[in-house]
Amino acid sequence: MGGVRKKVADIAGNALKIEKLSKSYGTLKVLDEIDVEVKKGERVALLGPSGCGKTTILKIVAGLTRPDGGNILLEVSKIGFVFQEDRLIPWKTVCGNLEFVSSDTHKVEKVLKLVRLWDYRNFYPLQLSGGMKQRVNLARALLVEPDLLLLDEPFKGLDLEIKAELMNEILRMCRSMSITALLVTHDLREALIFADRIYVLSPAPARVKNVLEIDLPSEHRDFCDTKLLDKEKEVLSQGFWLPFGLPESPLRSK
Ligand SMILES: Nc1ncnc2c1ncn2[C@@H]1O[C@H](COP(=O)(O)OP(=O)(O)O)[C@@H](O)[C@H]1O
Ligand SMILES: [Mg+2]
């Protein structure tokens, strides 16, 4: 039995619809009937523990991995993928890395300015900070002028300040370019700042445990926003990720 991935003309205002998606690697069952909807222009997060199958979902959506069962329905023309690891070519400069993807030097200049790396165009990956490398990664995904952006833990391992800056940058670009975004993360706070809706996944085989609508204004959400912290407390008090395998936290009983 194989799954189906196809582009369709109309999925009721959705850019992406994932229906009953299943996947195993040999005897390891990773995804168990995952359902996700992403409306056009929306930002959605998949929140789940390490190893639950988040990257696998994105790869299936991008057509890089075949599903065993279920449907991927897409009403988008181009997909940009920000991979978990930066995958930059070490002996090429920032500009060289992007020109490897597109020979259109005007486009390269435009995206480098968008992610504010134009002044660093002649730097090599080794000379860049983690946040800058991720911005090159983002620029590379934007080069294809996507209407759906898949983001695989792009903020992992970054300092809080750099994380907040990069996140704001991505949010700004999604808004200004009308890009629909699907973010994968294991970080609740990241998901809360980024998403209009969060799908909470269980450990592998991943199932959708909860769907959280984040009814906060999407502009100017930041780590210090008290409403956001209240939302975080609310989510924590419901014990959404205890099933991720963490011991009962004393914080939860307060
Ligand atoms: N190509 C593959 N072949 C075999 N096992 C894989 C492959 N890709 C991922 N896995 C396994 O599937 C599980 C889920 O992986 P992944 O989708 O990368 O999870 P996550 O992104 O949530 O950490 C892990 O146990 C991983 O080792
Ligand atoms: Mg992953």
- Model confidence pLDDT, tens digit, residues 175-217: 888 899 999 999 888 898 899 999 999 888 999 988 988 887 7
- Model confidence pLDDT, tens digit, residues 110-155: 999 988 899 999 999 999 998 899 889 989 999 989 999 999 998 8
Residue nearest to atom 8 of ligand 1 (CA): 56
Question: Which residues fall within 8 angstroms of residue 17, CB to CB, at 6 or more apart?
Answer: 11, 36, 37, 38, 71, 72, 73
CATH number of 4-78+146-253: 3.40.50.300
pLDDT of res. 245 = 46
Domain boundaries, the chain: 4-78+146-253
Query: What residues flank ligand 1, with Cβ below 6 Å?
Result: 25, 28, 30, 48, 50-56, 204
Residue of 23, 27, 30 best suited for mutating to test ligand 1, as the one with most atoms within 8 Å of CB:
30
Q: How confident is the model at residue 30 (pLDDT cuts 50, 70, 90)?
A: very high
Residue nearest to atom 24 of ligand 1 (CA): 51
Distance of CA 79 to CAs 70, 156, 204, Å?
20, 21, 26
pTM, entire model:
0.90
